[in-house]
Amino acid sequence: MFQRTILHVDMDAFYAGVEVRDRPELRGKPLVVGADPKGGKGRGIVATASYEARRFGIHSAQPISTAYRLCPHAVYLLPDMAKYARVSDEIMHILLSFTDLVEPVSIDEAFLDVTGSRRLFGSGRDIARRVKERIRADLELTASVGVAANKFVAKVASDFGKPDGLVVVEPGEEPAFLEPLPIRRLWGVGPKTEEVLRRAGLTRIGDLTRVTSEDLDRRLGGGGEHLQRLARGVDDRPVSPEEGYKSIGHETTFERDTADREVLGATLLALTRKVAARLRDHDVACRTVTVKLREADFTTHTRRTTLDEAADTEERIAPVAARLMRTLAGDQTLVRLIGVYASNLVSARPRGQLELFGRPPRKDRDLAAAVDDIVRRFGDAAITRARLVHAGRKRGS
DNA sequence: TCTGGGGTCCTAGGACCC
DNA sequence: TCTGGGGTCCTAGGACCC
């Protein structure tokens, strides 16, 4: 079979790395990027912990209150997503100088298919070394790189050498490399699946190759064969450059659980505005609108509806979202989080083309375009709904 | 110690059509 | 008279990833 060379590039403690680079006085200190700890009462989680902070037992996705208890004297910073997105663009730019086949996985991670670049740049290991050097020289950041014949093994390999790692798994070595690792390392095995498999006595990746895929299907409700192929180190998925969003959404957790209809309504409207603006930004419109509500006890519900005609404006989406919300929350419902999502995305044709089809430009879209323009020029605070200002005052913020 | 916010993918069941 | 089977679209929930 045709032998591919795949790289998985994964930045080390990315947000923390960027902050330390920009503020050298932070170097060597335990640094936590994430929610405001508020003296141990904060509600969010840790986004990234520096390696110094990890020595205290702090890690990503941990409640910020736990992190604060473990290390109150750490430096706590709020994430600056706009900055990280800019750095991410610079990283992707570097990666694209090695091959066109770059598939971003997240803001700080990507797969590269360098099969066709070997003639120009050398072996997979050579290319990995050069990628790391470029990222270090140009951006003063470190990345860990895994090299293998497919995406899954490359991903596990990059994780294996962290931080500042370079791990190559040669073709044929995959089973020996994977067998002793815990099943949790398999892509798609999270806490639930891990527990189901553990109860069946399966704890190492190698264990999965010693049962039948039907047995796995029965225990997990499908996906057994895929899991088994990964466990053997087989993964045919191609590295495919960006395909665009399938959904766009925003959600927010209240500082304190609330049953205040006005607060809920105003927050829903604010979220809807952000979603609609991003839809227009990406030149897409949505046919499906979803509202999510999480109650104080963490039970979570969603309601969605599909529109007759795709929408990309607050004027069209907000009433739908409000209606869905009313079916989710009673007057007494104590709410922890609400969210708005747009999916079933279709490309929104430029207005010139709409007219070609004999459809007049809509007023709501003209208004939205004007608002987008003002926000671009003067920032988000320049324009807002009277209702949002009112609710903000009401909360005393 | 309670658990963010951005996403993707999958499953099950119902409606509806032929 | 009670009843097939395939296909598509839709909704709700959940697992998982970073």
Q: What is the largest CA-CA distance in chain A?
A: 67
Strand order, beta sheet including A143-148: A102-106, A109-113, A6-11, A143-148, A166-168
Helices (H), chain A: 14-22, 51-54, 64-70, 81-96, 118-121, 124-139, 151-160, 174-178, 191-199, 213-220, 224-231, 261-281, 314-328, 351-356, 363-378, 386-395
Residue A163, pLDDT score: 95
Question: A217 or A136: which carries more pLDDT confidence?
Answer: A136
* Known active-site residue A251: no
pLDDT of A357 higher than 80: no
Q: What is the pTM for the complete model shown?
A: 0.87
Positions 230-269 of A with beta carbon below 7 A from strand C are: none
pLDDT band of A189, cuts 50, 70, 90: very high
Residue A69, pLDDT score: 96
| Dist CA A91 CA A132 (whole Å) | 10
pLDDT band of A368, cuts 50, 70, 90: low
Contact A304, A311 (CB under 8 A): no
Specify the DSSP class assigned to residue A30.
Answer: -
pLDDT of A107 higher than 70: yes
Instruction: Determine whether the distance from the CB of A300 to the nearest atom of strand C is below 7 Å.
Output: yes
Contact A49, A60 (CB under 8 A): yes
| Dist CA A134 CA A93 (whole Å) | 11
Strand order, beta sheet including A335-347: A247-258, A335-347, A284-295, A300-311
pLDDT of A275 higher than 90: yes
Residue A396, pLDDT score: 34
Contact A29, A75 (CB under 8 A): yes
Residue A242, pLDDT score: 75
pLDDT band of A348, cuts 50, 70, 90: confident
Residue A372, pLDDT score: 65
Instruction: Identify the sign of the CA torsion A180, A4, A154, A187.
Output: negative
Residue A145: φ, ψ to 5°: -125, 135
pLDDT of A385 higher than 50: no
Query: Span A43-49, mean pLDDT?
Result: 96
Measured CA A2 to C1' B2 distance, in angstroms: 49
Instruction: Determine whether the distance from the CB of A323 to the nearest atom of strand C is below 7 Å.
Output: no
Report helix, strand or coil for A49.
Answer: strand
CB < 7 A contacts with chain B (nucleic strand): A 35, 42-45, 47, 60-61, 63-66, 69, 106, 221-223, 245-253, 274, 278, 297-298, 336-337, 339, 341, 343
∠ CA(A241), CA(A242), CA(A247), 5° rounding?
155
Query: Span A349-370, mean pLDDT?
Result: 52
Query: In percent, how much of chain A has pLDDT > 90?
Result: 82
Tokens linked to A350: 């430029």
A43: Cβ contacts below 8 Å, ≥ 6 apart: A35, A64, A65, A253, A255
Angle between helices A213-220 and A224-231 (to 10 degrees): 120
Q: What is the pLDDT of residues A65-100, one digit of tens each?
A: 999 999 999 999 999 999 999 999 999 999 999 999
State the nearest residue by CA to the C1' of C18.
A106
Query: What is the residue-wise DSSP string for A121-169?
Result: H-SHHHHHHHHHHHHHHHHS--EEEEEESSHHHHHHHHHHT-SS-EEE-
Q: What is the pLDDT of residues A218-254, one digit of tens each?
A: 889 888 889 999 999 999 999 999 789 999 999 999 9
Nucleotides of B under 7 A from a protein CB: 1-12
Nucleotides of C under 7 A from a protein CB: 9-18
User: In the predicted model, what is the mean pLDDT of chain A?
Assistant: 90
Question: A109 or A374: which carries more pLDDT confidence?
Answer: A109
Which of A19, A52, A103, A109 is catalytic? The answer is: A109
Specify the DSSP class assigned to residue A204.
Answer: B
